[in-house]
Amino acid sequence: MNEVTLHVTDSQTFFSEVRTLAAALDRGERTPAVPQIGFEGAETLLRVLTPNRWQLLRRLRSDGPGSIRALAASLGRDYRGVHADVTALLDLGLIVRDDAGKSSVPWSRITAELKLEHAA
């Protein structure tokens, strides 16, 4: 299963985790880890991953690779709005684009984690 985890973290925790990972790699430890995308706050995560973008991710996952125009028609949305959403999701790494320009979701599971301490 291809999985990515979205989570909220502060910069201190992020750099601490990177140092721990780097030290393990220096020791030759190679443990597969679930890819993660961190957000500075719950508000940022929720602002970036809007209901329309979740719907777009689900549609791409169920329908397979497609063009922005086909995706907009499938979702009943205007091209410009879908283009903006696809660009944002590409920047995050939640979708990918092939050589033909078709977008797809490489993840079979996207998990979002919010700790109550970070949700306020």
pTM for the model: 0.78
pLDDT digits over 8-39, tens only?
Answer: 877 777 777 778 878 888 888 877 777 888 88
Token pair in block for residue 18: 């990177």
- Neighbour tally for 4: CB within 10 Å: 19
3-119 CATH fold: Arc Repressor Mutant, subunit A (1.10.10)
Stated as kind and residue range, the H or E segment containing 3 is strand 3-8
Where b means 16+ CB within 10 Å and e means fewer, 7-20 reads bbbeeeeeeeeeee
Q: Which of 72, 78, 76 is nearest to 103 (CA)?
A: 72
pLDDT digits over 81-95, tens only?
Answer: 999 999 999 999 999
Domain spans in the chain, listed from the N-terminal domain onward: 3-119
